[in-house]
Every structure is written in C-alpha cells, then in structure tokens.
Structure 1
C-alpha cells in the first residue's frame, strides 16, 4: 500500500528516476513520467526499450524523485514489476499520465506498454 505522502508525490508532475539492472549486472537509470494505479506505481515505455528488456529479465526497480515544493526531501520506492499491461487497459493509464504532464493524451504513433510496480519499500526523507 502506498503511503499518503508517497502517493501525493507520485500523483504530482515530478519526474522520477528509474533504476534497473543491465544484463552484465550494472545499473541503468532513466528519467520518466510516473503515476499510480490503485496501490501500485505505474509508468509506460516502448515494449522493446532498454528498461522494458531489463525489467522482463529482472523485475526489481528503484525509483527516486523530489517534489517542487520540497526538492531537498527525497522520495524513494523499491519494488518489482508484477504486471505488464497493453492494449486498451494500458492506453487508459498512458493517457492519464500524459495528460497530467502535458495536458493532452499520448500520441498513438508508437507502441507502448505499462509496467505495474508493487512497492516493497517506500520512504520520504533521508533515513
């Protein structure tokens, strides 16, 4: 279950940084748009992107972000991608996230999938 403070941050428009594991074991990070879906964290990507390939092989993730009103208080989430959504279910989430950040639905020019993350740990602040 997402804590209220973490949910507020994820439902805002801060960019998150996603960390995954490359095939050789080294870290891979990328900034991305983020959102929530029920008690899960969600983001979208191309089905063959580096992060999607990494997460299909090893579903562990770490996310970090800060909010504009308190950029010195880190918010972190660790968990696992438990589900991949595509089709209409994915596009409903993709459009909600894109509209939050840009004010309009996401272009249908490219294939997109949604990663659903079950949070194992979450924290606000250093600790």
Structure 2
C-alpha cells in the first residue's frame, strides 16, 4: 500500500467504515474494452489488507478484471455529515471451488445474515464465478464532508 491518502480520517478508520453494519455495498469501477467507464455495486469483505468480492467471468466487471485488473471501489454513507472511502488497486482472481463457496458464504452472511450464508454459497460458489482479491494501492478516506 504505497500511496495511502487519508483526509480527515484516522488511518484504520477506512477498514471499520467498509465493515460497518449494516453492510455497505462497494461501487466497483472498471473500464470496458473500449475504455469507457462502468460502475456496479458489489458485496465485499476484507481479508487482511485485501478487499474481496465475487463476480462472474462473463460480466462486464469480470471481463475487465481479467483483461486489465485495475479497479476502484467507493463506499459512502448517505446521511449527514457524510463520509466516504475510495480504494484503488489491482485485482487478482481465484476460481478454486472451495474458495468460491467460502467467500460466497462469507459475503452473503455480511449482507443477508448468517442464516442465508449456506444458500448463497451454493448459489454463487459455482463454476463461472471468480473470487476477486483487490491488492490495495491507495485509500482516500474522508469523514464529515458536510462540516
């Protein structure tokens, strides 16, 4: 993490913000093959220094990650005084079936509750899906934007 940028937020605050309950979706930014931008919401979790989510190989997100690997994610709250975190980095993928089921269940538990983890692991931990691990290069975290 070579270019960490913290604006008005303690260094570890961004991780707490990303992991807050209720879970916030990450807005994932990638580039299409023609260079135009694409943004989509994703369910995320943290694993050590990495941001982790799942997506399918044949989606715009998946194709971009396989082709390029550079990604950005934004997390925000929509109530005053407003806070946000942006993360940029390089994505690596894992298609191991055990990892797919593990991360599908783990992220589902964050967003849908522990009782739904197994069902989502079975539904989303399947061939064609990928575990995406973002190796974070830069974080910008801003607290109390309206103040």
State the TM-score bracket (shorter-chain normalisation).
Answer: 0.7 to 0.9
Alignment partner of 1:8 is 2:24: no
Aligned-residue offset at 1:60: 0.4
Q: 1:71 to 1:61 in 2, by over 3 A?
A: farther
Q: Is the 8 A contact 1:9 1:67 kept in 2?
A: no
- Name the Cα RMSD after superposition: 2.2
Q: Is the 8 A contact 2:30 2:71 kept in 1?
A: yes
Return the TM-score normalized by structure 1.
Answer: 0.87
Match of 2:57 among 32, 47, 52: 47
- Structure 2, unmatched stretches of 5+, are 5-10
What's the CA shift string for 1:67-111, capped at 9, x where partnerless?
467662211000010332431122112211101100121152353
- Structure 1, unmatched stretches of 5+, are none
Q: 1:95 to 1:41 in 2, by over 3 A?
A: same
Match of 1:62 among 60, 67, 72: 72
Q: Is the 8 A contact 2:29 2:72 kept in 1?
A: yes
What is the rounded CA distance, in whole Å, between the counterparts of 1:86 and 1:71 in structure 2?
Answer: 42
What is the rounded CA distance, in whole Å, between the counterparts of 1:28 and 1:89 in structure 2?
Answer: 26
In the alignment, what sits opposite 1:109? Answer: 123
In the alignment, what sits opposite 1:20? Answer: 30
In the alignment, what sits opposite 1:119? Answer: 136
What is the rounded CA distance, in whole Å, between the counterparts of 1:42 and 1:70 in structure 2?
Answer: 28
Aligned-residue offset at 1:36: 0.7
Return the TM-score normalized by structure 2.
Answer: 0.76
